[in-house]
Structure 1
């Protein structure tokens, strides 16, 4: 059953408050989904350079799960942790989460990975980075959205393609 509260579109490119990128990856949707739902593997396909490691996380299995990541970036003054609240989950089709600084509620940005099988050994992967629900004016002043560029998101898809081949 699909579970996702946010609206999104499938037009590739940059929009006012979201970036959408897609890539055909030569792997099954199941193999890709297996990587995406394992936070311990996320560093392999992090095109932003912020992710350092997962922190005592477990495989994502449903909407409502929360996983913690160790991060580093000048925008947060160095090392920090995020809690990622799963907002979308459908086996072999979709997984998404809203990210928040550890110990806080998500302030509104979301990552959504959508998988569309193209036969048994190829999958169209769409990655959406959406910050349209960020309403905190202080946060909007502090963080210059988008924090992750379209090029970095496309790099993530390239890294994911390489990671799924190795797994």
Structure 2
């Protein structure tokens, strides 16, 4: 684990385009999630462009509300090589506010039916004001490996 990010890598028995298609479908994210926090996607549209916003309904026992919603903004979209998003929330005035952490998947084809997938959670841009009440990473780094295993299972079932 680096000071400002954690990552995990797994070889998935599927072509990169198939892996990317699953990652670009927000409705699959609850099945992929290694933390169990994502309940369901509030948006059904596939991720197709940088700047696109998609929301997820979440649950975490330590969150002040328990149930909450995050707004994600696509930052990286390079099919079938990379996809990533910033996570934030909608404020009371309707404006989106992002905390500075990003989820990113990098895909490297290892042949026609295998892909090396690296999942990185990077919090290097999180301001001090947020670090005062959230410890980073806010989960055990093993959750990244769990997410990649879930992704592999989901892709192989398609």
Between the aligned partners of 2:148 and 2:106, the Cα distance in structure 1 is 12
Tell me whether 1:125 sits opposite 2:112 in the alignment. no
Contact 1:75/1:143 (CA < 8 Å) preserved in 2? no
Between the aligned partners of 2:43 and 2:51, the Cα distance in structure 1 is 17
Tell me whether 1:115 sits opposite 2:107 in the alignment. yes
**Which residue is 1:53 aligned to?**
40
**Which residue is 2:75 aligned to?**
87
Between the aligned partners of 1:102 and 1:158, the Cα distance in structure 2 is 31
Q: Which runs of 5+ in 1 are unaligned?
A: 1-13
**TM-score normalised by length of structure 2:** 0.93
Between the aligned partners of 2:128 and 2:44, the Cα distance in structure 1 is 28
**Which residue is 1:15 aligned to?**
2
Match of 1:140 among 121, 131, 139: 131
Q: CA deviation at 1:20?
A: 1.2
Runs of 4+ in 1 over 4 A off after TM superposition: none
Q: CA deviation at 1:136?
A: 3.7
Tell me whether 1:153 sits opposite 2:127 in the alignment. no
CA RMSD of aligned residues (A): 1.0
How many residue pairs align between the two structures? 153
**TM-score normalised by length of structure 1:** 0.88
SS at match of 2:97: coil
Q: CA deviation at 1:56?
A: 2.8
Contact 1:45/1:157 (CA < 8 Å) preserved in 2? yes
Match of 1:98 among 59, 76, 86: 86
